[in-house]
Amino acid sequence: MSSILRVSVLVGLAAVLACVPACGKKDTGKIKIGVVTNCTDPFWDLCEAGAKKAAQEFDVEVLFRQPEGLDVAKQMPIVEAFVQQGVKGIAISVINPKGQKKDLTRIAAEVPLITMDNDADADTGRLCYIGVDNKEAGRAVGRLVKKSLPPEKGGTIAMFIGSDVSANGTARTQGVLDELATPDANGTAATRKINGKDVPGKMYGKYFLVDGEAKTDGGPEKNPQQYPHAMLGRLENVPDVCLIGLYAYNPPAILSAVKSKELVGKVKIVGFDENPVTLRAVAAGEVEGTVVQDPYNYGYKSVEVLAAVARGDKSKMPSGSLSYQVVTKDGGPDETINGLHIKFPRAADYENVVKAQFASIGK
């Protein structure tokens, strides 16, 4: 950790600990489990709902925190505060696996540590990872793109994501591109004349990826809709365009930009995660589909595993990744894809499931 970051973490830790007597609950005497996310988002509200359900069922107390802005300097003081408060287990969505490796290794030696949604290297000492195989989930996004713009013709694509250093960010992006690629066009450099300008990119099959990489926006607090809005300006009057959003807040941001330019139905949108705006848009036919992870289960399973470990039982730890689902307007039958059992629920049905999960925590 750099000296600047270390100072930031220590200052943040002092601030977090200072607020504990004022904002913390009375000590219940129960086992405490800490859960810290990578940012603030409705996705994590669903995770909190699952964590609270598990806390009731397994008789533990959950400390659940959502830092802002995909910022390690805001996340790590919360983790350090959990350790100071005597938690018996911590679940974390890792923001920067390389940058946080040293600190995660140290913490894992003190407190049972698991990762969820975003993994860290196994040699950090983390006990297990709770989440989907993000490369496989990315490939599912790629299949939605091919359904929207058939591979025989292809089209122009742009991808948007919060981080290109997180484990899920790099894996999802690569999964999409692997699915679209062909042996003779797998990241081949290319230039296209668009509205009188030479636009650099890369070819994956017959799909032209604008600028040759995903556009990173830094998180939901950083006005993410500006990026798809600017992209649509660059691609004005270009046919066969698909914009891809790979973090929960990205599809709503893309949809907002598409609506502002009155391009709904003309520009294809493919999403990730179960943001309520995204689910409604899929049901309405405004978004082609979205690949979902079930954050409610992330929260539930994380607490179940850590509660068991705190009591000396490691049998609850998953042996592999969890299955993703693909939500579309009309749904479809279950399939086995690359060894995974995948469900294809209708958007309206899945939206009702998510509504019930939000309602369980009053949101």
Predicted confidence at residue 16, as pLDDT, reads 47
CATH number at residue 302: 3.40.50.2300
283 lies in the same domain as 177: yes
Provide mean pLDDT across the span 317-324: 93
pLDDT band of residue 6 (cuts 50, 70, 90) is very low
Residue 144 lies in a domain: yes
Write the CB contacts of 260 (distance below 8 Å, at least 6 apart in sequence): 229
Enter the tokens of residue 3.
Answer: 């000296």
Amino acid letter, residue 57: E
108 lies in the same domain as 194: no
Tally of structural domains, the chain: 2
Write the CB contacts of 16 (distance below 8 Å, at least 6 apart in sequence): 77, 78, 80, 81
Residue 348 lies in a domain: no
pLDDT tens-digit map of 198-251: 999 999 999 999 999 999 999 998 999 999 999 999 999 999 999 999 999 999
Residue 13 lies in a domain: yes
216 lies in the same domain as 238: yes
87 CA to centre of own chain: 25
Alpha-carbon distance 46 to 355, whole Å? 9
Domain of residue 230, residue span: 134-292
Q: Residue 233: is it exposed, middle or buried by C-beta count within 10 angstroms (0-12/13-18/19+)?
A: exposed
Alpha-carbon distance 291 to 323, whole Å? 10
- Can you spell out the DSSP letters for 35-94? EE-SS--HHHHHHHHHHHHHHHHHT-EEEEE--STT-HHHHHHHHHHHHHTT-S-EEE--
77 lies in the same domain as 225: no
257 lies in the same domain as 150: yes
105 lies in the same domain as 153: no
pLDDT tens-digit map of 112-146: 999 999 999 999 999 999 999 999 999 999 999 99
163 lies in the same domain as 250: yes
43 lies in the same domain as 187: no
281 lies in the same domain as 139: yes
Alpha-carbon distance 171 to 94, whole Å? 14
Residue 199 lies in a domain: yes
Residue 97 lies in a domain: yes
pLDDT of 9 higher than 80:
no
- In 3D, which of 83, 74, 14, 159 has the Cα closest to residue 93? 74
- Of 250, 276, 292, the last residue of a domain is 292
pLDDT tens-digit map of 161-192: 999 999 999 999 999 999 999 999 999 999 99
286 lies in the same domain as 250: yes
Provide mean pLDDT across the span 296-316: 98
Element counts in the chain: helices (H) and strands (E): 11, 16
Residue 326 lies in a domain: no
40 lies in the same domain as 13: yes
202 lies in the same domain as 277: yes
Virtual torsion, Cα 195, 197, 203, 204, nearest 10 deg: -40
